[in-house]
């Protein structure tokens, strides 16, 4: 029996390709005070997005992490729950500290 990739239980929509520009626009629409937020991407077999949060808004980090969760997509083995390689999308939130 061949096992296929199973979607995470919390995801009800099909996997969509998202860009850094789209994530940034969604964050700015939801959080208008975050006009200086930065979103960078690293593409490989998986796609990683890093959202840079200005230091003065560090209290929003947890809330922003929950908001950005909608852009993640992680394929798992339906038997073991292990993350399958390739095609996954991750989003991380970091705090941007001023340069000294």
For each of the chain's 100 residues, which pLDDT tens digit applies?
444 444 444 444 455 678 899 999 999 999 998 888 889 988 778 889 999 988 898 899 999 999 999 999 999 999 999 998 888 899 999 988 877 6
The answer to whether residue 2 is domain-embedded is: no
d(CA 41, CA 90): 10
The answer to whether residue 35 is domain-embedded is: yes
CB 90 within 8 A of CB 47: yes
Residue written as tokens 């099909």? 14
The answer to whether residue 27 is domain-embedded is: yes
The answer to whether residue 57 is domain-embedded is: yes
The answer to whether residue 87 is domain-embedded is: yes
The Cα-based distances of 25 to 34, 36, 73, 85, 90 in angstroms read: 10, 11, 19, 28, 17
d(CA 45, CA 89): 10
Which pLDDT does position 12 carry in this prediction? 40
CB 22 within 8 A of CB 34: no
The answer to whether residue 13 is domain-embedded is: no
Q: What is the CATH number of the domain that holds 50?
A: 3.30.70
The answer to whether residue 3 is domain-embedded is: no
Number of domains in the chain: 1
The answer to whether residue 67 is domain-embedded is: yes
Residue written as tokens 């209290």? 59
Residues of the domain holding 72: 21-96
């Amino acid at each position: 029996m061949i096992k296929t990739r199973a979607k995470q239980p919390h995801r009800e929509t099909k996997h969509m390709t998202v860009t850094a520009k789209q994530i940034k626009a969604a964050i700015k629409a939801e959080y208008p005070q975050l006009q200086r937020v930065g979103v960078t991407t690293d593409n490989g077999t998986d796609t990683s997005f890093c959202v840079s949060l200005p230091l003065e808004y560090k209290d929003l980090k947890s809330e922003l992490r929950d908001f950005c969760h909608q852009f993640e997509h992680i394929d798992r083995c339906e038997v073991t729950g292990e993350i399958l390689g390739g095609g996954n999308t991750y989003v991380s939130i970091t705090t941007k500290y001023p340069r000294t």
